[in-house]
Chain A
Amino acid sequence: MSALLAKTLKSSTLKRALIFIAVFGAIVVVLFSFVHGSTVSYVRSRTDEMIMSEVVILKGAYARGGRDALIGVIAKRIDDEHFNDSVYLLADASFSPIAGNLATWPSGLRERNGLGDFSSEDQTRDAVNRRPMRASVDTLEDGTRLLVGKDIETLDQFVFSIRLALGLSISLLFVIAGAVSISVARRTVGRIESINAASRAIMQTGLDRRIPLRGTHDEWDELAENLNSMLGRIEALMGEVKQFSDNVAHDLRTPLARMRGRLEKAWYDRQLDDKTVISDTIADLDDVLVMFSSLLRISQIEAHDQTAAFRAIDLGEIVREVVELFDAAAEENGVSLDANGDCGVMINGDRDLLFDALSNLVDNSIKHGRKGGRVSLAVTANDGGATVCVSDDGPGIPVEERQHVFKRFYRLEQSRATSGYGLGLSLVAAVARLHGATIEMLDKCPGLEFRLCFPKVVLSETRDTAE
């Protein structure tokens, strides 16, 4: 778990979250300082205004009735409980108190007139109670000095509580955001780490392992599922490649061994007719080359995007031509071959490849269908797409074999005796995939139907603009 924590702390998710926290935190601090500053200055300026208006009243009394009237007003103010947060002091030029509720002139306010802060020492009880004060100092016409002040302890408390609230909320914000980011980062790192661990295990031990799902159906499970199905596909492909290379080895070695044997025999046995040996060998070589070029052809169709050569073509016409071409072969096998369905069923495609694919299907149906049976082709247009069916009334293909028949070199036990390499249906599958068509195999009881369903397409220009 400490490894997980170390990874969490190093994770990019956390780093990014921390950057965002810092940016938002800075913005919040600036905002809070602004709120704090403007609140404090507002409250202070209100206090100063109250002091100044009091000064105006007292100066007015002095102007009307001189020092005695001023002393009277001060005495009244001191007795008035509405003014119990105020202090007054009238002193002579040497700061000796004349009247007021302040025992001594604050030492900090002797230098100049105007507003200033000081702290009063309230010695009513045993303890000395210092209170923060704000006061205005004036020198009257006769040289006496007037101090009018207000207790600002409540103001300070107010400022303090604002600071406390702001400070607490900022700290809370940082703590919560930090905790949330760490837990999110930890969760992300945990899931990624489980995927990483599975990947490492797969690299070390083999493709049969899978990434565990948590059953939460979230994006992580989706990722794991996708990776798992990708692994499944890779595993299947690897299996096919292995099967494939085994088959290539077998199907190549057999004719090569035959040729070698024949040539060796001809070398030792001078009686043999050279011409026969050579022509048999060339025929065998041609077989190998046909197999080889079929393989290449399938891989090329699978590997390259050849839809650039697609033209608008009539499937019905291709079907009729295939039937015509195979008519002789059907006749030879005593099979009746017919085509029905719509004309002018247009799709986008490659005529050569479709012809080849349909030829292979028909060839298979004639070879593996019932002797003296019937093979029929049908073309139908539907919903802008098209369907081609090739059906026979032969023994069909067992259900459990059906998923394999499109693999290269795959041959059913029952058809081992007939000629071919087991590549025909691979070609059909490759051509179908290139055209976006699906292949279905349906039981006709008796017989088998291959159904190629071409998707709805926008037709390209009919005219092949060969420049």
Chain B
Amino acid sequence: MTGGRRRILVIEDDRETADHLVDALTRSGYQVDFAADGNDGLRGASSLEFAVIVVDRMLPGIDGLTIIRKLRENNIMTPALIVSALGEVDDRVRGLRAGGDDYLVKPFAFAELLARVEALARRSDTVAKDTVLRVGDLELDLVARTARRSGREIELLPREFQVLEYLVRNQGQVVPRAMLLQHVWDLHFDPTTNIIDVYLGRVRRKVDGQQAYPLIHTVRGVGYCVRAAR
């Protein structure tokens, strides 16, 4: 994370949702601008520099997808998170095609929104080309694709390594299940089964089993967070 307060634009017509969004993002250290309709939103997004734009799919004036399309036409590549009460199946595809970068279906947990906003905000930062990632006494060698904890090697399947790598890269952040599925498996749907939990259960047994302190923490109802003991 880069220091300083980063600017977020929230375009949302429902007053209560907007208040919650602005509140939650402000508490997480962002400077939040707010627009209640499509035209204001488009004007705001075009004139100022933002780290992330959070935009509702259905808005009075111009709808969310059109805003993103117009921004991309004008070469404004600010990452956009589309928030929508419409279903996920075809709208997500259409949303992403319009140039949106991520998609979240209402209602959502704020932790999930925050995780996605932070992931998008980080994307505009330069990604460090590390070859070794560390958290606590866990060490991931990205070249040899091996994981060690207190110097002892942990046997991981390739996919398990990818899961761990994604969690460690986002250490300290909550990673929602759907984001894991999206980035590790390239699947774009919310699993209705508890399969991710079961899968993470095994990864956790391998990583945290018989260790002094746990690294992988469950965030109830949302996902996971890798964090060294405080």
Q: B residues bordering A, Cβ < 8 Å?
A: 87-90, 93, 105, 107, 109, 157, 159, 185-195, 198-199, 201-202, 220-221
Contact in complex: B185, A331 (CB < 8 Å): no
Contact in complex: A356, B198 (CB < 8 Å): no
Contact in complex: B220, A329 (CB < 8 Å): no
Contact in complex: A301, B89 (CB < 8 Å): yes
Known contacts A324-B157, A332-B201, A297 near B195 by CB under 8 Å: no
Neighbouring B residues of A309 by C-beta, 8 Å:
90, 93
Contact with B along A292-303 (1 / 0, CB 8 A): 011011001100
Q: Which of A281-289, A390-398, A435-443 contacts B (4 or more CB under 8 A)?
A: A281-289
Determine which of B87, B93, B202 lies in contact with A296 in the assembled complex, contact meaning CB atoms within 8 Å: B87
Determine which of A282, A293, A353 lies in contact with B190 in the assembled complex, contact meaning CB atoms within 8 Å: A293
Contact with B along A400-439 (1 / 0, CB 8 A): 0000000000000000000100011001000000000000
Give A337 Cβ to nearest chain B Cβ, in Å: 12
Total A-B Cβ pairs within 8 A: 78
Contact in complex: A324, B189 (CB < 8 Å): no
Ranked 4 nearest A-B pairs via Cβ:
A328-B202, A329-B198, A300-B89, A296-B87
Neighbouring A residues of B105 by C-beta, 8 Å:
293
In the complex formed, the residue of B with least CB distance to A419 is: B194
**New A-B pairs, 17, CB < 8 Å, besides A297-B88, A352-B188, A419-B194:** A283-B220, A293-B190, A301-B89, A304-B90, A309-B93, A321-B185, A325-B159, A327-B202, A328-B199, A329-B195, A332-B201, A351-B186, A353-B189, A359-B193, A359-B195, A363-B193, A423-B192
Contact with B along A215-242 (1 / 0, CB 8 A): 0000000000000000000000000000
Contact in complex: A286, B195 (CB < 8 Å): no
Neighbouring A residues of B185 by C-beta, 8 Å:
321, 325, 355
Determine which of A279, A306, A355 lies in contact with B89 in the assembled complex, contact meaning CB atoms within 8 Å: A306
Neighbouring A residues of B107 by C-beta, 8 Å:
289
A327 to B109 CA separation, bound complex (whole angstroms)? 29
- Asked if A290 CB lies within 8 Å of chain B CBs, one says yes
Contact in complex: B201, A328 (CB < 8 Å): yes
List CB contacts (< 8 Å) of A162-185 with chain B. none
> Looking at chain A's contact residues, is the secondary structure mostly helix, strand, loop, or mixed?
helix
In the complex formed, the residue of A with least CB distance to B184 is: A325
Contact in complex: A286, B221 (CB < 8 Å): yes
A419 to B197 CA separation, bound complex (whole angstroms)? 15
- Asked if A450 CB lies within 8 Å of chain B CBs, one says no
Give A141 Cβ to nearest chain B Cβ, in Å: 112
Contact with B along A329-344 (1 / 0, CB 8 A): 1011000000000000
Contact in complex: A283, B187 (CB < 8 Å): no
- Asked if A360 CB lies within 8 Å of chain B CBs, one says yes
Give B53 Cβ to nearest chain A Cβ, in Å: 21
Give A467 Cβ to nearest chain B Cβ, in Å: 9
Give A47 Cβ to nearest chain B Cβ, in Å: 91
In the complex formed, the residue of B with least CB distance to A289 is: B107
Contact in complex: A326, B195 (CB < 8 Å): yes
In the complex formed, the residue of B with least CB distance to A333 is: B198
A328 to B156 CA separation, bound complex (whole angstroms)? 12
Contact in complex: A293, B199 (CB < 8 Å): no
Determine which of A321, A327, A332, A424 lies in contact with B192 in the assembled complex, contact meaning CB atoms within 8 Å: A424
